[in-house]
């Protein structure tokens, strides 16, 4: 269960005033990514981007790429929009929708160069494992949205989730573990550190990175 939490007045105002600039409308049809960004640059998607620690940093560092974030938690989306506007980012958009639905309905197949799923909610209790986002059906949906040779990057600081990801990946064809024969990839130097990674570090967790390529 995702709790909405309280929205600050600034976040509420951002959702009203900045959605025309940074928001993507919830719709029943696929997004025209070229029209959305006004160019044909590579498109990178972050799923569960929270308040944008990672996607904002990547968008700022790589103005030649387009970045789309999907996040279900509205206060986080409000914060992300405020930060994007303060930086004047032009290559970032955010869709405030459940990622499973958003992918199935709005993200065209074979449209993305990179997908990032960093520090997804771990749901550590056994009875909650079925709530984990990275299940085989969803991973297959991610794969189908990548272009040929597109890449899927994942990181988690929960070993139980890392094991679960390895098992789920083994059930999905068409994605090649680029770290093979090792299970885990080295930490990508460009992956910005977020508060969740820092919290994992404080708890003594080891961060596991995965990189898969679409065959
Ligand atoms: C643990 S936080 C990590 C946030 C961010 N990736 C980071 O590393 O800072 C997980 C995020 O995923 C979002 N999330 C969880 N399930 C989601 C779903 N089905 N669709 C979209 N976002 C989701 C949560 O609201 C939360 O912001």
| 163: containing domain | 42-214
The pLDDT assigned to 3 comes to 56
CATH number at residue 117: 3.40.50.150
- Is 15 among the domain residues? no
One pLDDT digit (tens) per residue for the chain, 215 residues: 455 678 999 999 999 999 999 999 999 999 999 999 999 999 999 999 999 999 999 999 999 999 999 999 999 999 999 999 999 999 999 999 999 999 999 999 999 999 999 999 999 999 999 999 999 999 999 999 999 999 999 999 999 999 999 999 999 999 999 998 788 999 999 999 999 999 999 999 999 999 999 98
- Is 54 among the domain residues? yes
- Is 29 among the domain residues? no
Q: Looking at the 3D structure of the chain, how many domains does it have?
A: 1
Q: Assess whether the C-beta atom of 75 lies below 6 angstroms from ligand 1.
A: no
Tell me the β-bridge partners of 106.
none
Report, as residue numbers or ranges, the catalytic residues.
121
- How far away, in angstroms, is 71 Cα from ligand 1 center? 6
Give 159-205 as a DSSP string: HHHHHHHHHHHHT--SEEETTTTSSSBPPPTTS---HHHHHHHHTTP
């Amino acid at each position: 269960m995702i709790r909405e939490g309280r929205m600050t007045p600034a976040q509420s105002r951002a959702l009203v005033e900045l959605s025309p600039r940074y928001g993507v409308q919830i719709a029943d049809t696929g997004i025209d990514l070229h029209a959305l960004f006004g160019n044909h640059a590579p498109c990178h998607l972050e799923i569960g981007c929270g308040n944008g620690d990672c996607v904002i940093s990547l968008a700022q560092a790589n103005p030649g790429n387009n970045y789309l974030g999907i996040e279900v938690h509205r206060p986080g989306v409000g914060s992300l929009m405020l930060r994007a506007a303060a930086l004047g980012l032009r290559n970032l958009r955010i869709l405030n929708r459940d990622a499973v639905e958003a992918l199935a309905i709005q993200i065209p197949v074979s449209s993305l160069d990179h997908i990032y799923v960093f520090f997804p909610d771990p749901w550590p209790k056994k009875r909650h494992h079925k709530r984990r986002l990275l299940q085989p059906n969803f991973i297959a949906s991610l794969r189908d949205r990548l272009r040929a040779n597109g890449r899927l990057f994942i990181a988690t600081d929960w070993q139980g989730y890392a094991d679960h990801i390895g098992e789920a990946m083994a059930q999905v064809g068409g994605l090649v573990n680029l770290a093979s024969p090792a299970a885990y990839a080295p930490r990508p130097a460009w992956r910005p550190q977020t508060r969740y990674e820092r919290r994992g570090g404080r708890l003594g967790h080891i961060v596991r990175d995965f990189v898969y390529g679409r065959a």
